[in-house]
Amino acid sequence: MPARVVIDGESYECQMVAQDIASDETGRSLTIPEFCKLERLSKATFYNLKKRGLAPAVLAIPGSNIRRITAAARAEWYARMRELAGGEAAQLEHERRRELTATAGKLAAQSPNHMSRRRVRSASARRGRR
């Protein structure tokens, strides 16, 4: 079940499903691109989370450029994201954004430039004839 997480005013959707954890029976570690693909995150979102200290722990193999996310780190990350998504602050932020969106939509509909206020031109006027 997708969960919405709000961090520093930005909203992220956590797409990971519990069965994804269960389907990885081998417990093998994942590269960052594999993790992002499995979680349906862009790499930019992953690195934004990492900057905020909310990405899963990445294991660096000494003497190489190999970076891996272990199955345990992934499960811990998922539990942390679920906890953040269920928090009262996240729910309040979701409601605040919903209200802002509704207000913005109403204001846009009242604008004289709104598409509902545009006149329909005749076919001859569209072709440049009068």
Helices (H), 27-129: 32-39, 43-51, 71-85, 88-110, 123-126
Helix axes 43-51, 32-39, angle to 10 degrees: 100
pLDDT in tens, 12-39: 665 544 445 445 556 789 999 999 999 9
Which one, of 113, 28, 109, lies nearest residue 72 by Cα? 28
Domain regions of the chain by residue span: 3-89
pLDDT for 22: 42
- What pTM was computed for the model? 0.54
pLDDT in tens, 58-95: 999 889 898 999 999 999 999 998 888 888 887 888 89
pLDDT in tens, 109-129: 888 888 887 777 666 666 666
The rounded mean pLDDT for the chain is 81
